[in-house]
Amino acid sequence: MNQYYIYIMTNGVRTLFIGMTNNLTRRVYEHKHKLVVGFTKKYNINMLAYYEVTNDVESAIAHEKQLKGWLRSKKVALIESANPHWKDLSLEWY
């Protein structure tokens, strides 16, 4: 069964990036090593602050879009509910 991840990454000044992938380890690696051209590379987004897992790709896409529409304060509250110290959740993966 496939798994899909909705994730929030950030940088030192807490600029937020929300994405969805079917391989979180690979995708975070790409962000950390600046292999993804665009927003995450430009703003040095390199820390995984939050993620969720689902088995349904359609619900993953819908939830990603929903999170992107939230106010920043609501996104921060979501992160802090699971990761109050804003630790890099991928720190020991590599």
- The pTM (predicted TM-score) of the whole model is 0.94
**pLDDT score, position 4:** 98
* SS3 state of residue 36: coil
Nearest to 63 by CA among 72, 49, 75: 75
Separation CA 68–CA 24 (nearest Å):
18
pLDDT tens digit at each of 94 positions of the chain: 899 999 999 997 879 999 999 999 999 999 999 998 899 999 999 999 999 999 999 999 999 999 999 999 999 999 999 999 999 999 998 7
Domains and CATH numbers, the chain: 4-82 (3.40.1440.10)
